[in-house]
Amino acid sequence: MKFSAEQIAGIINGTIQGDPGVEITALAKIEEGKPGALSFLANPKYEEHIYKTESSICIVNKTFEPSNALPEGLTLIRVEDAYSCFAKLLEFYDTLSKEEPRIEPNAFIDETATVGEGIYLGASSYIGKNAKIGNNVAIYPNVTIGSNVVIGDNTTIYPSVTIYRDCIIGEHCNIHAGAVIGADGFGFAPNEKGEFQKIPQIGNVILEDYVDVGANTTVDRATMGSTVIRKGAKLDNLCQVGHNVEFGMNSAMAAQTGIAGSTKVGKNVLLGGQVGLAGHLKIGDRVMIAAQSGVGSDIAPDSKFMGSPAFESDEYKKSYLGIRRLPRILDRLKALEDKIKELTKD
């Protein structure tokens, strides 16, 4: 696919400095630019690369003023916010790479299922009894969609995803390869013999609109009721969400984060990589939890926590500084003890 500087400027409402007819066929980071590529410069940290990039077009902020000579033939497109405009172009490029509506060989649709218009259904995918698939949905190869599942319009489900029975997926969601939505929650109770007896998990999972689920992430079905991922939430790869969890609107978790059952996470919460939340907690709105933190108690809104066990980040930093100084403190204490012994000798 080819696009000219003039076409790109029209998409992002930019001003051209250079040749409006120059064309690009690829996107590239500015430090890896090559002829025929489009790059962008938003962070001043990377400004040095624009003076030696081989890209044909570069998107920059309107306020950008070169401090050195630009490469010959480089065309600039000036915009209000280079980063957001480049993101808009990535989104536009992504829409062009979507699969054309069709049903590939060996795909199975149960006769009781309802399928909307304009769907793509990849080879060897399975749609179960009474499932309802919306319009313009893309379901890639080897996806399994269980009975009574509902999938909203414009949602994309990538290869080898499994969505268990009764789950509800909203509109404009993206579920990446290998994710499992609606497997049983971890519910077992020891009986009189000390053996674990399984507790049936009869609830479901609800993903509201604009939710993204990363590759190989799992969201467990509720014991009763629903495990709910609220509108606009983002789950990275390799995350685990336990049964009856509620993950708040526009909240996000990074890779390898785990949330135990029945914990409620508020709006606009940010969880770093490998964060662990114990069960039955309440995490307030706008909380930030640093990577590898272990949380075992409720957290009030607008807090910042870190550490394992986690506590307020400012207090953690003070404690950490103390821990780093501990060897020196112990050496001084030992020297002081030796001095006292020397002074108190008979």
Task: Return the domain boundaries, the chain.
Answer: 3-96, 320-346
Give me the catalytic one of 49, 172, 176, 243. 243
Contact 316, 294 (CB under 8 A): no
184, pLDDT greater than 90:
yes
Q: What is the pLDDT of residues 296-346, one digit of tens each?
A: 999 999 999 998 888 788 887 878 777 788 888 888 888 898 888 888 876
Contact 139, 158 (CB under 8 A): no
Q: What is the mean pLDDT of residues 281-296?
A: 97
b/e burial code for range 268-285 (CB count within 10 A of at least 16 → b): bbbbbbbbbbeeebebbb
The amino acid at 245: V
Q: What is the pLDDT of residues 185-234, one digit of tens each?
A: 999 989 898 999 999 999 999 999 999 999 999 999 999 999 999 999 99
Q: What is the mean pLDDT of residues 149-175?
A: 98
The amino acid at 152: G
Looking at residue 320, its pLDDT comes to 76
Q: Which CATH architecture has domain 3-96?
A: 3-Layer(aba) Sandwich (3.40)
Tell me if the pTM is above 0.75: yes
Looking at residue 341, its pLDDT comes to 85
Q: What is the mean pLDDT of residues 21-29?
A: 94
Length of the chain as a residue count: 346
Looking at residue 25, its pLDDT comes to 93
Looking at residue 282, its pLDDT comes to 98
The reply to whether 243 belongs to the active site is yes
The amino acid at 44: P
Q: How many of the other CB atoms lie within 10 Å of CB of 72?
A: 5
